Each structure stands twice: as C-alpha cells, then as structure tokens.
Structure 1
Amino acid sequence: MREPVRRTLRRTATAVAALSVVLSGLLAGGPAVAADTARHGARLYTPDPNPDGVRQALGLVRAGQYKDAAGVAAMLATPQAVWLDGRSPDEVERLVRDVTKDAARDTAVPVLALYDVPGRDCANYSAGGAANSAEYRAWIDAVARGIGARDAMVVLEPDSLALLPADCGQDDAEGTLTAARYAEVNYAVDTLEPLRGTRVYLDTGHPGWHTVGSIVPRLVEGGVTRASGFFTNVSNYYSDDANSWYGKLISSCVAYVEGGGDAAACPDQYWPRADAQAWLDAHVHVPASRMAHFVTDSSRNGQGPWTAPAGKYGDAQEWCNPPDRGLGARPTLRTGDPLQDARLWIKTPGESDGLCLRGTAGPEDPERGTVDPDAGDWFPRQALELVRNARPPLL
C-alpha cells in the first residue's frame, strides 16, 4: 500500500473513532468502545473502516440522526477481522505486513480471515479463490512472509471444512478435490502455526450445521491437532451460549479422538446438556491447556438466528441478510473460559451476505422488498438494523 494512501486511511480511521467517542459522549455520557486488554497489555486490532460505512455515518450526522450516526461510528470503531482474498501473493504480503506492523505499534493483535482456498463456497455467493493448489500454497507463503514474527490470529478459510467439494457435488468419484482441500488446509496450518506470534483456527461452520461427530473427523484430517484450534459461527447468528457449548463439545471430542476414541461416540449439541456433561466427565480427562481451543464470531448474533415464517419460502436462506438482527457482544480476549481464546467480530458487520432470493425468481429479496447488495458490499439498511438491535446495546 502506498504511503499517501495509508496515511489517508489512518486519518479516516482516527476520524471514525473520534466521531464515535464524541457522539456517544453527547448521547450517553461515555465512550462508545472500551479498550479490551489481555496478556501483556495486548488488545484486539481495529482495521481501517469500510469507506461506505464512513459515508453512512457522516450522512446520518448531516441528517441530524445523531444516535444512529454514533451507533454506526461505534460499530466501525470496534475491533474486527481483516479479510484477505482475491489478491496476488505480492499484494497480500504487503497488506498483511502493513496490518501486522500497524497492530504491533498499537500493541494490538490483528485477526486475519484468510479466504482464498480453491473452490470456496462451492462457487456460490462468495465464489472465487486461488485457481489451484499450487497458487494457494504460494498465496499462503506470502501471508506467512507478511506476518513474520509479529502477532496474528488467523481464521483459516471459513466454510473450507464445513463445506467440502464433496458436499456440493463438485468432486469426482475418487474425491480428488476434497483430498486437495484437506492438503491445502494442512499446508496452511504447517506454514502459519509455527510462526512465533501466530495462532491458527480451523473451520467448523456453526452449531446449526454439523454435529460434533460429523465435524471433528474433518478437523482432525485438516490438521487441528497441529493448530491452535478452531472457530465457529463465522457470518452466522447463533448465541454466545450455543457457540461456547458447541466449542466445548468439539474440543472434548478432538481430545477423545486423539486418545484413540471414535468421534461417533461423542455427545453432540442436541444431547441434553446434563447427559453430555456426564459423558465428558467420564471419558475426557485432558487438561484444557492441552486441548484444541476455539474462537467464536459474535458480530451479528445479538438477536440470535432468524427463523423464516413457516412455509413461506422454498429456500428461506436464513443465513442470508436476515431481517432485524443485531450486533452481539463486543470482541474480547478475556472470555473466562479456558478453552475459548477469544470472542471476535469476524464477519464485518454492515457488509451484505449477497443477493438473497429465498427460492423466488427475484431480483428483490422478498423479505425486504429491495435488491440486496452483492456479497461484501456495504448494506446501509442492515447496518442500521444491527446497530439499533444490538444486544448488549452499543452505546
């Protein structure tokens, strides 16, 4: 990134943070975003804000909607992940180096969401990624060079294990593409996890998708035992309680499998909790320090998942720009759970999930009556919903 551009973005980020504090001070008598510190004074990194989000906040100020403006500004000024995709190795190396150096100056830990695996998202809304395994390995090597010895938390390829090529009918009879996916994920683990300050977390989808017995073998084959752990709920809406329980069950099942057990015997998230806990007490005796840890995404789970009206849609796409959701609890490195390393905002709140048709001919999202922005584009209407429905309240 050229230095004048970097300076401009830094000034913009500083202005957003200042706007957040000033407006919230006027409205609520205090700062909007509290600094979250953890080991050695480290805190989570806040990246440059989405320029369209900045424009929305400033437009709300001009319109006299100061509370909404403060809310959007506070959302933008909250620590969240930096998504990396669609760049050449040289470009991604420069960007990662810029981000990690900027974070180090602030004694902060950046969260890097890597999203470039070949065939990602089964060529659906977020299609793209490297053309082949060789390109992906070169891209991962570039990410590693960009990080160097600085701190980073790596959210490695959302949907890479929960949505394998075999799951979407894209593989051949020999499972060539699925085998390649596992090799790609393992390469990333073995390249990034050994870096001095890097922690790598692998994909589990979310608690409403795979059972524990289904996702654990995928994690093990993807190299979770050589990584820091795994992540759950990226870009989804499940509650902190559901995510933490799912994470505990997965961590325990990975430990059980490492000891020679069968993942099919592990309790899943649908068991009565008392029964599941009794099973864990009887079968898992590994200290938390030696188990796979996890991180969760609370960026949009303040109101929990959306349930579509019964029978209204052929394919409700409940994950896709659901209405009336809210921001969740703020990111933190202090979870109080020895297995949970962090609660993060991984999905960038305010950015669209894509064109949601819910089984209709479109082009409008029938739940909203408008055409949703493309995946990754700023969605002003949804941004305001997230701010207004935040739980706990943002301001």
Structure 2
Amino acid sequence: MTAASKTRRVAATVAAATLSLAGVMAGQVAHAANDVLDPSTELFANPESTTLEAAQGLTGQARADAQLLGSFPSADWFTKGTPLEVEAAVAEVVASADATDEVPVLVAYNVPFRDCAQYSAGGATSVEEYKGWIDGFAAGIGTSDATVILEPDGLGIIPHYTTLDGNTEWCQPEELDADTAAAERFEMLNYAVDALAALPNTATYLDGTHSGWLGVGEITDRLIKAGVEDADGFFLNASNYVATERLQKYGTWISDCIHLSQGSRWEPSWCASQYYPANPSDLSTWGQSDAAYDKAYADTSMTRNPAEQAHFVIDTSRNGQGSWTPPAGFLNPLDWCNPPGRGAGLTPTTDTGNALIDAYLWIKVPGESDGSCYRGSSAPHPGDQTADPAAGQWFPEQARELIALANPPIAAPTCHVSYTVHGSWREGFNTQIWIKNTGTEPVNGWELEWAFHEKETIQNLWSGSATQQGAYVEVDNLSWNRTIKPGQQITLGFIGETNGSPVTEPWLFTLNGAGCTSD
C-alpha cells in the first residue's frame, strides 16, 4: 500500500473523531506524564518504518544492514502535511503500537524556519498554520500512549534570538520580523506543549541541544520560556554524536538548573556548565561543575528531588564512538553532517538505571543521512568526491559503519526467513515460510513474529501454532520442531485470506525477539 492510500484510509476512520476528541482535550488540565516511560516500558519498532522501506530497494549487505537497524525501535518523524493529514499519519502509527502494547516515539518537526532553512529546511509557513498542525498531531494520538520529541533544534536554533549574554545569534532570516520572530517561536512551542500535555498518556520532551553546543544556563532559560514545567522534560543529542557519559552530566545539570531557577531566587545565568568551572574538553574536570551544583542547593536550602525535576531522554542512535574530531586542514568540517567513523550507541531502552533519564532512544533514524554534504568537509577532498544523500535519505555506507563500529556491539542476525506466496485467488493465498538458523548455537524453542501490511488473516497454519491480533502474527513452535540446529532450516505454511486487500510480503521478521534477514 502506498503512503498516500494509507493516509486516505486512516483519514476516513479518524476524521469523525477529531471534533469530539478536541472537546475532551479542552476540558483537561495540562500535566506531565513521566509514568509513560518507566523501566518496564516496551518501545515500538514500526514494521513499516522508513528503514525497512529502504531495505526493499537494497540487496546483499546493505539490505541486511537496513533490516538489522529496522529491527530496533526508532522514532517516526512527522514533518509536513495538513492538520488532517498529520492526524491520520500519527493515528496509524499509534494504532500499530497499541496493537503490540508498546509505546511509539513520535517526532514533531514542522516549526516554521526549522533548521534555519539549512539542510532540513521546511516547516509550516505561519504561527497559525503550525498551531493547526499541532492540533492535528495531538488528535492523532488521542488517549493512546505516546512519547513526543518536540521540534529538534527548536530551541537550539531560534530566528533572531538574543542570548543571555546579549548576543544576537546567527540565524537571522530576512523574511522574518526581527522584533517578533523569537517570541513567536516560544509562542508556538508553548502551544504545542499545552496541546500535548492535555493528552492523558503522552510524554513530551523539548529540545535540550547537547553538551557540545549551548551552555547549561542558556538552554535552561530557553526551556523555561518554552514551557518545560508543563512538559515531561527535554531531549538531548538529537541527530548528533556526543558521547552518552557527557550527556548524562549535561542533562543532570540542566535538570538541576531548571529546578533551582523555578524553586528559588536562582537565575539560569548563574548555573555551572560544561564550560565553567569545568573544561569542556577535559571530562575529568566536570566534577567541578557537579560541586558547584551541590553548593547551589546548599545556598538555596533546596533539595534535589527527581520526582519533581524535569526528566530527559538521550538520543544514542549514532554516539557509540562519540563526536568526530576533524583532522588538520579541514577549513569547514561540518562535523555534525555525516561524520566518518561513527558507530551506533546504546540500543533503545527505558531501563536506564537513572531516576532523571527516562530513556535512551534512537531519535535520529540511524542510517538516514544528515544532508547532502561531503563527509567531513564543505567541499570534496581526495577519496570523497560524491555528495552524501539528501537529509532523511538512506545512506548505506553510513549504516554499515554504524553497525560495524557500534559501541556496545550490535550482534549480527542469526536467522534468515524466506517468505514465498505459492499462489493466490480472489479471497485467499497460499504461503510457505522457511526459517534458517544462521548462527552458531541451536535454537531451542522459537517464536516467529511479523506484521502484515494490509488486511490479510491466517485461516489455516501448519507446523506451528499461530495467534493474530490485527496485522500482527505470532507463530510458536510445536513439540517436534522446537529445535533448529546451526545451519538447519525448517518450514511452515498457511492458507491466508486477503479480505479484499493485495497480497504483500512483510518487511520484518523476528525470531525470539531478534531481527532476521529476509529475501
């Protein structure tokens, strides 16, 4: 099914509910929902993600890499459309996540002049258009569980913004009124926070940049202006490469700075940061800023309380090797745009072991390009004469590096699935599935899972025990075929009913929860 036809189908089912849902929202008080992400939360891996879609046009190692990365939960990005269109698109993802009792991560990325019209240019054309789009986005979530990453770079890059130290930042579009542009950005983000906070089961996080960018006081001031007190907190490192240990400290300092600034006479500009008293390039000095916060709490007679403080999530999609240090001679390194030699970081989880960190997420979809730049330079260098794919397009070479250099390592798939439709008729089809153990250890007991694209249902399955909920299918072994030895393959099959939809091949198969390669 094409994206357009999916949108039309979902739009028809959700449009009627929009007005009634909006009425419910209007009567609710904005509140934070930190319990949406707890250590037991299962994050949603979309079986129709852009990663798995990219895999359909690839072969060999590149296809296997996309399938492997697509087997992990990553965010679904929403970047355009009318209010009705974004409502339908969000509702489709949320409904799929509901069917698996998992929580989707949704990125709202449509603020006017996003990325200051650089590689990821686009967005709504006015304040009112953006507010309408956010209303549609929120209506698509409704009462379902969801986590929203609200506008990456939305607080890091603000048009015509004056910092705490009185400097006007570089983003100064001529099309915008310099006197109102920054205020409008905060107006839109506050509106979005309120709309999402009114939902009963949605956690919302604002842009907290990263420790290689804004100082703690500067981003704290912006977060407060954007309404962080009504959100669940902030996100760090979206689409960047900073090491997790640096972000853990940076995020903790921001949470402390917000807490101090909102709970006492403290001012954000007084907050210690990675720049002072710490030395940003020497992690061993960052304890000096830790000590400065201890003193600030003592001076204000306040006490840290993770239950009251802003929480945060960290994008670990590409930070396994940390940030790239350009070699000498790169005049304009663009170290944020597809830097070479990077690896994936921690795989997504809500079990962080830290009361302030709600999750490690893959916000930026690993394997998708940052922009049509040259790897590590603003102009071609020897050995690198081809521009990278446009922002958001699949980048096979980068995907390979992210897997090969992942830290912690990402295990290679140990299963391969072949899915063959032997025949179809008006209302049915006949399918055979082969499962091969490509690992070195026997599989003792198996559970194969996949999701249909359309309305297909299993009517009669042999060599396994099947259950189906909506599009999602789970097949468990029988007593006689529970073991699959290394190099061995087993087969099963089923008669399916089309229910009026085309017969298609699933994009993702998992065996005992781990992704398999497939033909």
Fold similarity call, TM over 0.5: yes
Deviations 1:188-235 (A, max 9, x none): 001101210011101121110001011111111011111100001000
Instruction: Indicate whether 1:302 and 2:326 are aligned.
Output: no
Match for residue 267 of structure 2 among 262, 266, 276: 262
The answer to whether structure 1 residue 384 and structure 2 residue 400 are counterparts is yes
Partner of 1:21: none
The aligned counterpart of 2:332 is 315
Residue in 1 that maps onto 2:494: none
Identity of aligned residues (%): 43
Q: In 1, are the aligned partners of 2:341 and 2:401 still within 8 Å (CA)?
A: yes
1 CA distance for matches of 2:82 and 2:246?
37
What is the one-letter code of the residue matched to 1:289?
A: A
Given that residues 332 and 378 in structure 2 are in contact (C-alpha distance below 8 angstroms), is that contact kept between their aligned partners in structure 1?
A: no
Question: Which structure 2 segments of 5+ residues have no match?
Answer: 7-35, 161-168, 279-284, 298-302, 412-519
Q: Does 1:195 align with 2:195?
A: no
Q: CA deviation at 1:76?
A: 1.1
* Counterpart code for 2:43: L
Contact 1:350-1:379 at 8 Å conserved across structures: yes
Contact 1:323 1:368 (C-alpha < 8 Å) held by counterparts: no
Alpha-carbon distance between aligned partners in 2 of 1:39 and 1:124, rounded to the nearest angstrom: 36
Match of 2:294 in 1: 281
Tell me how far apart the structure 2 counterparts of residues 365 and 229 of structure 1 sit (CA, whole Å): 41
In structure 2, relative to structure 1, the CA distance for the partners of 1:191 and 1:315 (3 Å cut) is same
Counterparts in 2 of 1:3 and 1:316: CA distance versus 1, 3 Å: closer
Q: Which residue of 1 aligns with 2:56?
A: 55
Which amino acid in structure 2 is aligned with residue 326 of structure 1? Answer: G
| CA distance in structure 1 between the aligned counterparts of 2:311 and 2:295, rounded to whole angstroms | 20
What is aligned with 1:74? 68
Mapping of 1:64-143 within 5 angstroms? 65=61, 70-143=64-137
Cα distance in 2 for residues equivalent to 1:173 and 1:146: 32
Distance 2:3 2:127 in 1: 33
The residue type paired with residue 247 of structure 2 is: N
Tell me how large the CA RMSD over aligned residues is: 2.5
In structure 2, relative to structure 1, the CA distance for the partners of 1:244 and 1:71 (3 Å cut) is same
C-alpha deviation, 1:358, in angstroms: 7.7
**C-alpha distance in structure 1 between counterparts of 2:351 and 2:5, whole Å:** 34
2:253: which partner in 1?
Answer: 249
AA paired with 2:291? A
Q: Rate the CA distance shift 1:384–1:53 in 2: closer, same or farther, 3 A.
A: farther
Say how many residue pairs are matched: 357
Contact 2:78 2:109 in 1 (8 A): yes
CA separation of 1:150/1:273 partners in 2, compared to 1, >3 Å: closer, same or farther? same
Contact 1:314 1:359 in 2 (8 A): no
* 1:165 match: secondary structure: coil
Work out which of the residue numbers 240, 243, 261 in structure 2 matches 1:239. Answer: 243
Shift in Å, 1:127: 0.5
SS of equivalent to 2:106: strand
Structure 2 distance, partners of 1:76, 1:347, is 13
Alignment partner, residue 230 of structure 1 = 234
Check the 8 A contact 1:315/1:358 in 2, yes or no.
no
Give SS of 1:289's match. coil
Within the candidate set 325, 345, 369, 1:328 is matched to 345
Larger radius of gyration: 2
Indicate conservation of the 8 Å contact 1:114/1:155, yes or no: yes
2: CA distance, partners of 1:224 / 1:127:
25
Deviation string 1:99-151 (CA, Å, 9 cap, x unpaired) is 11111111111111110001110011000000000000000000111000111
2:337 partner SS: coil
Select the structure that is richer in strand: 2
Give the counterpart letter for 2:363 in structure 1: I
Is the contact made by 1:201 and 1:231 (CA closer than 8 Å) also made in structure 2?
yes
Secondary structure of 2:149's aligned partner: strand
Structure 2: distance between partners of 1:200 and 1:70: 33
- Do 2:333 and 2:378's aligned partners in 1 also have CA atoms closer than 8 Å? no
Contact 2:320–2:346 under 8 Å retained in 1: yes
SS in 1 for 2:234: strand
User: What is residue 30 of structure 1 aligned with on the other side?
Assistant: none
The range that moved more, 295-304 or 255-264, is 255-264
The one-letter code matched in structure 2 to 1:76 is: G
Which one-letter code corresponds to 2:102 in the other structure?
Answer: A
Which structure 1 segments of 5+ residues have no match? 7-36
Paired residue for 1:18? none
* Displacement after TM superposition at 1:274 (Å): 2.6
Structure 1 letter corresponding to 2:49: P
Displacement of 1:38: 7.2
- Contact 2:333/2:377 (<8 A) preserved: no
Matched position secondary structure for 1:112: strand
The 1:288–1:187 alpha-carbon spacing in structure 2 relative to 1, beyond 3 Å, is same
Q: The residue matched to 2:143 in structure 1 has which SS?
A: coil
Verify: 1:218 aligned to 2:217, yes or no.
no
Query: What is the Cα deviation at residue 88 of structure 1?
Result: 1.5
In 2, the alpha carbon distance for the partners of 1:111 and 1:243 equals: 20
**1:69 shift after superposition:** 5.5
Q: Give the TM-score taking structure 1 as reference length.
A: 0.85
- Counterpart among 164, 187, 197 of residue 158 in structure 2: 164
Alignment CA distance shift 1:40-1:278 (3 Å): closer
1:342 match: 359
- Higher helix share goes to which structure? 1
Shift, 1:266, TM fit:
1.0
Match of 2:251, SS state, is helix
* Corresponding residue of 1:46: 45
Tell me by how many angstroms 1:283 deviates: 2.4
Structure-2 change in CA distance of 1:367 and 1:346 (3 Å): farther
User: CA separation of 1:91/1:115 partners in 2, compared to 1, >3 Å: closer, same or farther?
Assistant: same
Check 1:351–1:3 CA distance in 2 against 1; reply closer, same or farther (3 A cut).
closer
Q: Letter of the aligned partner of 1:280 in structure 2?
A: Y
C-alpha displacement of 1:170 = 2.3
SS in 1 for 2:307: helix
| Residues 367 and 223 (structure 1), Cα distance of their counterparts in 2 relative to 1, 3 Å cut | farther
